[in-house]
């Protein structure tokens, strides 16, 4: 009796992790900044929406505007091109750009990275993972699981620096929450300044920035942040900043503004209300006639 050779069953390849895709994006962006001609080779292979980070997306989108007549990238113009996204550059914009340039690869490798980034983005859109749905909740869940593993007594577990790994995960979650909170504070600040001084020379800029911050909040806010963000504290910080800024122009906020936030989490994270509707809702909480000019 002859035996058929056993057929080896290969498991399907695993999609790249978020960390791997993030590293690919840094390599591609660093290469494009160093050699803008690579952009022409990859711009039809990957789109800005394929990047996992809003900062990466904005930079890739801005590359054509950053190119000079000689084809080089004007790094001094990056800050204005990124706008409020520049605040997300870890360690400061100059440090972050230097880090990207240090990660540059060859043009051929950059093309491969463009294909990889696009493939990973398509997979993520078709089959979103928990980290894509709510990265903050994912960080807290992983930290809790790792804390349990840290209690094991086997030799391998004792070798792992669980405490710092858990702290790094929690830091990632906290940084995402603090980023959304800061943008909410700025929305509150600008709304209050528009309410108190609707004819200010800066009113159009305030409106543009409110729209930009709300777009960022809608994209970055996660369901778990509802329990993590103290809207009342955030509101009071926005009021304090608005009052301080207006004081330089001898303008005061209305006296009877509420001490608690007049907006819901959904008001701030879904963009269902227009800017006019937000201002109307805010005006209904106070006596606008109580606004005074010193």
Across 59-73, 82-96, 159-173, least confident range: 82-96
pTM, two decimal places: 0.72
Neighbours of 150 (CB within 10 A): 15
Task: Specify the DSSP class assigned to residue 250.
Answer: T
Residue 258's pLDDT is what?
94
Q: pLDDT at residue 235 above 90?
A: yes
Asked whether residue 202 carries a pLDDT value surpassing 60, the answer given is: yes
Task: Say what the pLDDT of residue 111 is.
Answer: 96
CA dist 114 → 148, 156, 224 (Å): 38, 38, 32
Average pLDDT over residues 12-27: 80
- The radius of gyration computed from the CA coordinates of the chain, to the nearest angstrom, equals 24
- Every domain range in the chain assigned CATH 1.10.860.10: 18-127
- Listed in order, the ranges of the chain carrying CATH 1.20.1220.20 are 164-290
pLDDT(290) > 50: no
Residue pair 253/242 in contact (Cβ under 8 Å)? The answer is yes
- pLDDT of 11 > 70? The answer is no
> Please, what is the angle between helix 135-150 and helix 162-196, to 10°?
150
Give me the pLDDT at residue 131, please.
81
- Report the mean per-residue pLDDT for the chain: 88
pLDDT for 3 equals 53
Check residue 228 and give its pLDDT: 95
pLDDT of residue 70: 83
Q: What three-state secondary structure class fits 67?
A: strand
Q: For the residues 43-68, what does the mean pLDDT come to?
A: 90
Please enumerate in sequence order all residues whose Cβ is within 8 A of that of 218, keeping only pairs 6 or more positions apart, or say none: 269, 270, 271
pLDDT of 204: 96
pLDDT at 276 over 60: yes
Percentage of the chain exceeding pLDDT 70: 92
Topology adopted by domain 18-127: DNAb Helicase; Chain A (1.10.860)
Q: pLDDT at residue 73 above 50?
A: yes
CB 10 within 8 A of CB 37: no
pLDDT of 240 higher than 90: yes
Domain over 164-290 is classified CATH 1.20.1220.20: yes
**Helices 54-66 & 203-220 angle (0-180, nearest 10):** 130
Angle at alpha carbon of residue 97, lines to 96 and 101, rounded to 5°: 120
Q: Name the H helices within the chain.
A: 18-34, 37-42, 54-66, 78-82, 93-102, 107-126, 130-133, 135-150, 155-159, 162-196, 203-220, 225-228, 231-247, 265-269, 275-283
Is the pLDDT at 156 greater than 50? The verdict is yes
């Amino acid at each position: 009796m002859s035996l058929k050779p056993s057929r080896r069953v290969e498991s399907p390849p695993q999609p790249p992790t978020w960390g791997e895709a993030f590293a690919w994006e840094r390599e591609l962006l660093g290469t494009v900044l160093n050699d803008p001609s690579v952009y022409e080779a990859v711009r039809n292979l990957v789109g800005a929406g394929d990047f996992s980070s809003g900062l990466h997306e904005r930079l890739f989108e801005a590359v054509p505007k950053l190119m000079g007549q000689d084809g080089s990238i004007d790094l001094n113009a990056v800050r204005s091109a990124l706008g409020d996204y520049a605040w997300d550059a870890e360690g400061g914009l100059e440090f972050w750009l230097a880090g990207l340039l240090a990660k540059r690869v060859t043009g051929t490798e950059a093309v491969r990275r463009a294909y990889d980034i696009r493939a990973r983005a398509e997979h993520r859109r078709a089959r979103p993972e928990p980290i894509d749905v709510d990265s903050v909740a994912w960080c807290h869940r992983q930290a809790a699981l790792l804390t349990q593993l840290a209690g094991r007594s086997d030799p391998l577990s004792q070798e792992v620096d669980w405490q710092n790994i858990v702290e790094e995960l929690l830091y990632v979650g906290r940084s995402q929450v603090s980023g959304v909170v800061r943008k909410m504070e700025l929305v509150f600040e600008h709304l209050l300044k528009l309410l108190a001084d609707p004819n200010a020379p800066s009113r159009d800029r305030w409106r543009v920035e409110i729209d930009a911050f709300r777009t960022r909040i809608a994209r970055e806010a996660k369901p778990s942040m509802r329990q993590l963000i103290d809207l009342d504290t955030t509101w009071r910080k926005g009021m304090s900043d608005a009052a301080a800024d207006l004081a330089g122009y001898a303008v005061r906020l209305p006296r009877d503004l509420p001490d608690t936030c007049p907006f819901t989490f959904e008001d701030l994270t879904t963009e269902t209300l227009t800017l006019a509707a937000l201002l109307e809702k805010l005006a209904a909480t106070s006596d606008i006639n109580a606004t005074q000019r010193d």
